[in-house]
Every structure is written in structure tokens, then in C-alpha cells.
Structure 1
Amino acid sequence: MKETRSEALSAGRAVLAIVLIAFFVELLIMQFLPYLGYAHHDTLLFSILDAAILSLVIALPIYWLVLSPINQEYVKRLKAEDQAEEMTHMAITDPLTRIMNRRGITVGLLDAMAQAERYHMPLTIAMADIDHFKEINDTFGHQAGDRVLKDIAALLADALRMPDKVGRYGGEEFLIVLPHTGLVPGRKIVERIRASVSKTSFDLGAKKTRLTISIGVTQFKPGEDLEQLMSHADRALYDAKKGGRNLVVARKSR
């Protein structure tokens, strides 16, 4: 893309140079005709106009033969890149909640694990699950359930810091990735999120109600693979559910 744009700029400068040269050459010829023995009684203004017309006659075919094809190719490539970027974004975005889907957040987590391993930085993850979500769908319908998913996803995304990531891991589960964050501060972050959700009224269509989430938190241990790390988060989430829900449970890697 940069090469095509550079070609267009170079060609444009070349065309402009040709036009300017033609303009000044024609202007000089018109002015020096009397000195060469040719009768020429036109004014300077007419000479300038004549040179401008000649330059335009030269410039138009050059533009259509040189600049126009390059510009069309540039626009074509730009559209192709935009389409490719949009497809990539769609491939890692959950269409309902507009946050990352399972694939997107997993890729983000793998990248965070690699960075934590390489630079010896802490990394904490959290698995959040909406409590009694099946009852919401059964009682109020799937449209109400979809609204709850979208609202909680937005709440999670707004509560996180710039380097943090969140994605819909599946169903009513959300995976939160907290780079450069240890287990203790990570637990405090998700505890604030849990409290914020519990204080929010969610629109279920027929009425508004309060909901809760349970969250399992764990810290990445160097040498762990993705499956091991996720298993610790899942166990912590299970303990939060078993403990009565609307809880945050932290579990250390062994």
C-alpha cells in the first residue's frame, strides 16, 4: 500500500514538473517570437493564457494515462485492506456483546503469557460467570438474556484498565486478562467488578432486577501452559459457585 501511494506521489510530481516546464517554455517562446523575426503583437496576459492552455492539453492525457491507473490501484488496495481488517476484527469479536470472542481472548491470553514469561512480569486472569443465568432465559426469554449479556460485557469492559482484556469465553462466562498484575491486586480489581454488577439494575423487559456474578481468579506461573492456567481459574470459579455465588475466589497455582 505504501509503495502504491509512493508511486502515485512520484508520478504526480513528474506530471506537475512536465506541466510547469511546458508552461514556461511556451511562455518564453511567445515572448521571444518578435526577436526571432516573427510578428507577435499579443499581450503578456494572452501569452500566459496560451501557455496555460497548452499545459492543460499536455497534462490531461498524462493524467489519464499515468496518474489515474495508479490512483485506481491505490483505492482498490485500500478497500482490500479495509475489508481484510474488518474480517479479522469480526473473526475475533463476539457478535452479540461486541467484545472479544473465545478465539480473540484466547489469543490475547497467550500473548500475555508469552510477555509475562519473557519479561518476568506478573499476570492474573479471572473467569466470571453470571449467576442463575439459565433461570433468566427460562423466565424472561432469550432476548432478555441477550440484553443481560450485552450489559454485563459493557460493564466489564468499562471497568478494566487500558492493558487489560475481556472476552466472552462461552455462554455466560467471561475471561478477564490482567497483565502486569499480581494475584492480590488482581483480586481487588475483580472484586470491584463483582460489587458493581451486584449494584446494577438490569432491564429484563418485563421488569428490572439485580443480578450477581461469581469470579475465580488465579495468577500465571512461569512454565504453565494454557490448559493448566485455565484449569486453575475454572477451579476457583467452581469454589465461588459452591461457596454461595456472588463471590470472588482466588486460587494460587501449585
Structure 2
Amino acid sequence: MALLHINELYTGETAEIVAINSNCSDTRRLRDMGLREGRMVDMLHFDPLVSHKVVLGLDGTRLAFPLTLAAHIVVRPIKSHFETLRDMANYDQLTGCLNRHAANMILRHEIRRYADQELPLAVLMADIDHFKKVNDTFGHTAGDQILKKFAQVAGSALRRCDMLCRWGGEEFLVLLRGTVEEEAFQIADRIRRRVESITFPPYDACGLLTVSIGSAALLPGGNFEQLVAEADKALYRAKHAGRNRVATISDEC
């Protein structure tokens, strides 16, 4: 998060003190109050109009001092414990994508909503080709690097309304809102071409990585299980046809 002066925090926010302006003549006074670099403080009250004071919480103690002093304290806001736990529960810690648990809930809701309104929606199932060989050859640390890089590259090919999640292992699922089958195929192929064109660590000059993608569109009366199953079948078809390609369930064998 960006650095702020302490009087820019919201009431209830917690922040880490990063610096106290050493040119301030009252620096000693602030430090005598217990305010120093590395300490965590809570913004309890901020009144710029009447009392012109800031009230902070520090280890269970309330500290009140003028805004003129507060302006010399630079802080970094931090997430609450609840927000940290929520992110850990909903996001894959390696790639930063939504995890399967969170994606399941969002997908079910979005599929019902789009089906009820008879709007187009599609899903892509992407699988990094020969990923086991990468792990066996270069090690799992290298495999982790590839997963992180793949998530960045795939995400760069998507629109703001699309959702990328790590479905499991080297498999990723993409939700494409308001997207018909032809558009879904084009987006999938854009991902495939970007992945194909980039050298992934730890390959360097040793070779390029590829991805196979299955695409499926929501049919009238369709549900979550059917849509994901169709995308998975299309992915298998892409793998069976030689990898590094996009396939749909309607493709001929």
C-alpha cells in the first residue's frame, strides 16, 4: 500500500509507522509518547474542524495530539486480521488468482444470473502442457515460477470483466461474462498465442511453454456442472489433438 501521513487514515484503520520527520522540532515529544518506526497504531478519531486533533490507539493506550504534529508521521496502512484471513481463504497464495473454492461460489452465482437473464456466458479450461516434465526436469521451485508467470500472461490477455482462477495444479479456469462461443474461442486463442510467444523461466533459451485450452458456452437451461464439464471435455480434446491449441465441445474428433 502507498505511504500516507497518519491524518489520512480512516477511523478504525491500522497502520505501521514508517518514519517520523526528523526535521520536526517536536520529534522528541512524539517519540516520548511511544511513537516510533515499526510501531502499529490504530486511528481512533480524527477531527480536522473543531478540536484539530488526532487520537491514536497504541498498545491499548489512547494518544491525542494536534494535527500539526500528526502531519510529520508517515505510515503504511495494513490489512486487518480479518481481511488477511479472508484473502488467504479466497486467493491462491502462489499466483494471486482466485482459488477453486472462491471461484466455485462466484461461478455458480454468475451462471444462475446469466442463465435467468438469457445472457451469453462462457468458460475456458486451460492446462499447461507437459507441466509434470517441467517439475521433473527443473524442480518444483521452477514449476512455481512458471505458474506465477503463466497467471500474469493469461491475465494480460483478458478483459476487466473476466475472471481467472487457479482450478488446481497447472489447470486454470476463466469465466467470460457476456461472451458468446466465437468470442470465447478468440480470447482463448489470444491466451494461447501469448503463452507460446514468451520464454518462461527456467527455460531461457532452452524452449517455450505452451498451453491447451477447452472452451464451452452456457446453453439455455444449462447449469454450473454442465458448463464446467463441457469445458473440461473440450480441454481433453485439445490435449488429444496434439496440445498447444484451443478446442470446443462441438469440434469434430
Tell me the TM-score range normalised by the shorter chain. Answer: 0.5 to 0.7
Unaligned 5+ runs, structure 1: 17-62, 72-78
| Alignment of structure 1 residues 1-254 onto 2, 5 Å | 82-204=80-202, 208-251=206-249
**Normalised TM-score (structure 2):** 0.67
Partner Cα separation in structure 2 for residue 142 and residue 3 of structure 1: 44
Partner Cα separation in structure 2 for residue 89 and residue 208 of structure 1: 36
Q: Would you say the 8 A contact 1:194–1:247 is kept in 2?
A: yes
Unaligned 5+ runs, structure 2: 1-9, 14-43, 56-60, 65-76
SS in 1 for 2:80: helix
Q: Would you say the 8 A contact 1:190–1:248 is kept in 2?
A: yes
Cα-Cα RMSD: 3.0
Q: Cα offset for 1:223? A: 2.5
Specify the alignment match of 2:21 in structure 1.
Answer: none
Letter in 2 for 1:219: A
Q: Would you say the 8 A contact 1:140–1:206 is kept in 2?
A: no
Per-residue deviation, residues 179-236 of structure 1 (Å, max 9, x unmatched) = 0000101100111110111111111167552011000000012332322211101110
Per-residue deviation, residues 101-151 of structure 1 (Å, max 9, x unmatched) = 111222221222122123221000000000111111111111111111111
Higher strand share goes to which structure?
2
How many aligned residue pairs are there? 193
Partner Cα separation in structure 1 for residue 142 and residue 46 of structure 2: 54
Per-residue deviation, residues 137-189 of structure 1 (Å, max 9, x unmatched) = 11111111111111101111121101100011001000010000001011001
| Bigger-Rg structure (1/2) | 1
**Normalised TM-score (structure 1):** 0.67
Against the structure 1 CA distance between its residues 136 and 119, is the aligned structure 2 distance closer, same or farther, given a 3 Å change threshold? same
